[in-house]
Structure 1
């Protein structure tokens, strides 16, 4: 509406009320010749009137409310001939609703307004269609040339006047273009864990335009019932427009075709890669030379020190069929996230997703000095900040495998670390095999009842958890043993008086025996305490 007031045919037009609604969109025009105009009013219309029908319209304030309820863009009135002024109540109602009431100049002819506004609307629509056609042509050319998501995003920034990216459903950036480093570091758009776009903070499609001065528009990339991600536009210092949504929907349709094509190819390749990695980790892939050559053909560099990482989704086991409310199986999204994060850090890494786990072979920092900082950084990046519906997962990290022949044993280590880590720390656990200590042995005992019996025999009442008094005494005992019976240090850590701790030690020895002088008893107590820590033994 504000743009329309700059046209010559509306020169001298005065805004009587509802100035806050001058951002309303005009798509059509109408002339009010009868008081009962409501049945013929359509959304986004500019309604012109001489004022003659208003003399018999009755409740004018009520008429204004009805017109606003039908989505009218504005009402333009010629005052002075049939109606001299509008009642204050009408003006207050229009101001409250944000419905512009305009006073036309006496010299304005309706046919001039109709002709000029309709011409301008048609020209704008033609420009939008031409822009959409250009985007469509560019995107079709990309597909025909075999281009991927990166090629699509490279073409769009100039056409859409902004930065464009394609992300996964939870916001991990698959391809982007037209975005500077300052924008990528802006926490209003991206989180601090690896640059994930905050999809959950922004509205989808045309609903984004409801915000004041919207700068971000995102539309889903859908193919049938599968949600493959988002196409996102961040404008360059301007508010997003309806045309942006229309063009992004075109781009999303093209992205869906590209992703579907790539997934079809990846499904075949992934099955082959998964089968070979399974054989490799089972020791059935052949000699080191054959394995290295075959892995090189798959883009995997295994002729170096490697660590095996096993990541398992917490909760129910993955299912090949999406759960209710999900458009893509959780284990597929999980594997895709790992692949994207790891490939950025280590292009020669192997990443394969199975229904129960994701297996990663990554290069080890320092040539055998441990799994390295970059492995944990990758885990943190996959976990992110919890946005976008991501689920927690347990991760196990093996020792460094110096040769391909060591990989099957390293895989077993990683699986054991993930399993024990989850039992000790719960959802989201990260455990390295070298840090498991005695838990490695405890986790291998198949008879849980026997292990429970051992803890009850050694710890007595302290083996039962849930009682505040027993839990407190067990904590005192564990801290004392961990500090090699150093009473002063244990008292400091537990914030006890020295004499209070001496009294507790006496009570514990009456319950458990003379552990302060019997090293064999101390050993049994320490093993039993570690067993109690195993979550599946609690209760």
Structure 2
């Protein structure tokens, strides 16, 4: 360093108090290069290049005294130099700038005129390209003033960060001690974090939120338009979010032991996420884990009691109807109205090693919680209970004939919300819907209808099926036949060679036969549906009659063929 720089320090004022006081929230975000340029010790400094990087945070200071400075450079440093180490190697400045940028240097501040008159244009272009600020210091700037003032400011900011974290801890502890829930936590955080905050389930279902801008709630980058689920899989966790060039979203997992209870998410509108935001979110996540664990313990007792009573109600063992209605009212359920029973059954998992009890518990609990959440939004008086492999819902419905299809559409929208778009690794499930019942004593029969609809729907449509009992038709009767061998025999006798399971020609002809029967033997319409020429379809009909018999003129044979095709579609040949 040059001696003249030290001379400027004579009669220096109390540097830390020379600047306007910073708020805790401003200090907590770190000293940026732009902030440093506003300090008195850097008065008169100009930006030669890399102005796009003025938002870089300064956490350390260093002085370049030797040409091979790279081994001693650390991220987020402001590197001060008189240019003396560079006086004999100007040709290597471009490479040095690139190496410093790779090490995430905050900025380079250089005094020109004594050892280096000016920086070559290619150096400035490289700094602009890499967004590495290069500052020209005034001739009267003393390095010790810069070091003193910047270090003092950095320490003040770090102290403010600790104070901010302590304040967050105090606020959140008070929320818990006052009995507040997740909504109380999210209400407190936006003012502390300068952004919108929410708590979600592990797969992104919003449990509580505050301060989230309306435009963010409708932004498909953040939320699924169908289910309203936050896209947790698109955003990084914790400090890793800072790896993104322009991070505006960060999430922290809510963990209690080995159980993952969800995420605390921060969305900022105008500023970049910084490390202190992550620290605050981690405190909030720990508090949220306490709240969720407490709520789960209370809810587990309540669910056990509610589930036992609902099981008795579904089995017709809840006592007389008036007593059942009154008891359900104490649980917040209204069963004295037109209802439908909805049964959502988890699909069987492939054979895997038996997991631990801790791994088993969250799967069906999260499934039940998802149903409870979406149903209560539509019908707060609905009864919802989760069991080991199914969730049962008793929800209000329009009276039969009042609004055709409205209840079924509502159930399908609920299924879409619970399913989301597959985030979170949830298991698929089949859903069955009963007929509308008007009396509490009809609930057990409706439960059996819903279970049958779910079971048959899965057999017909496969994974994720949604079936109404009234739409099952002949499938209801087929499902009641316990003897699979008898159904197989009937199908083979009726369809003959067309029943061959692995014969491509037989499968093609079965498709033609099914389309023909579904269109009531209308040859022209069937040809249009199958994209066949009329004469081609007439030829196929003749071939089918030679194989199966005169089904175009024999209504009984047509009935047998239709039932056999339904059996094949529902159960296959096993």
Fold-level similarity (TM above 0.5): yes
Shift of 1:348: 1.1
2:341 and 2:43 mapped to 1: Cα distance? 74
Is 1:15 matched up with 2:47?
A: yes
Give the equivalent residue in structure 2 for 1:537: 572
Give the equivalent residue in structure 2 for 1:507: 543
Give the equivalent residue in structure 1 for 2:292: 259
- Going from structure 1 to structure 2, the CA distance change for 1:122 and 1:186 (only over 3 Å counts) comes to same
Give the equivalent residue in structure 2 for 1:376: 412
Give the equivalent residue in structure 2 for 1:392: 428
- After superposition, the CA RMSD in angstroms is 2.9
Deviations 1:340-382 (A, max 9, x none): 0001011111111222111111111236757443222211211
- Going from structure 1 to structure 2, the CA distance change for 1:258 and 1:453 (only over 3 Å counts) comes to same
Which one of 274, 282, 307 corresponds to residue 249 of structure 1?
Answer: 282
Give the equivalent residue in structure 2 for 1:214: 247
- Going from structure 1 to structure 2, the CA distance change for 1:80 and 1:274 (only over 3 Å counts) comes to same
2:111 and 2:271 mapped to 1: Cα distance? 35
- Going from structure 1 to structure 2, the CA distance change for 1:324 and 1:63 (only over 3 Å counts) comes to farther
Shift of 1:128: 2.9
1:378 and 1:55 mapped to 2: Cα distance? 72
CA contact (8 A) 2:259 2:358 kept: no
Shift of 1:150: 1.0
Which one of 340, 345, 351 corresponds to residue 384 of structure 2?
Answer: 351
Q: Normalising to structure 1: TM-score of the pair?
A: 0.91
Give the equivalent residue in structure 1 for 2:62: 30
1:348 and 1:327 mapped to 2: Cα distance? 29
Is 1:167 matched up with 2:200?
A: yes
SS at match of 1:347: coil
Which one of 26, 42, 49 corresponds to residue 74 of structure 2?
Answer: 42
Shift of 1:226: 1.4
- Aligned pairs (5 A) from 1:97-496: 97-179=130-212, 181-316=214-349, 329-366=362-399, 371-496=407-532
SS at match of 2:230: coil
CA contact (8 A) 1:319 1:355 kept: no
Shift of 1:291: 1.9
- Going from structure 1 to structure 2, the CA distance change for 1:326 and 1:193 (only over 3 Å counts) comes to farther
- Count of residue correspondences: 538
Consecutive unaligned residues in structure 2, runs of 5 or more: 1-32
Deviations 1:18-49 (A, max 9, x none): 44433321012122334554554333221222
Deviations 1:115-153 (A, max 9, x none): 221232233333333333332222111111101011111
CA contact (8 A) 1:318 1:330 kept: no
- Going from structure 1 to structure 2, the CA distance change for 1:101 and 1:495 (only over 3 Å counts) comes to closer
Deviations 1:157-186 (A, max 9, x none): 222222221111111111112235444223
1:322 and 1:152 mapped to 2: Cα distance? 34
CA contact (8 A) 1:227 1:327 kept: no
1:261 and 1:57 mapped to 2: Cα distance? 66
132-141 or 30-39, which moves further after superposition?
Answer: 30-39
Deviations 1:218-260 (A, max 9, x none): 2221112111111122224333333322222221111111111
287-296 or 366-375, which moves further after superposition?
Answer: 366-375
- Going from structure 1 to structure 2, the CA distance change for 1:410 and 1:528 (only over 3 Å counts) comes to same
Shift of 1:60: 5.4
Give the equivalent residue in structure 1 for 2:111: 78
SS at match of 1:171: coil
SS at match of 1:217: strand
2:53 and 2:512 mapped to 1: Cα distance? 69
364-373 or 201-210, which moves further after superposition?
Answer: 364-373
Is 1:526 matched up with 2:562?
A: yes
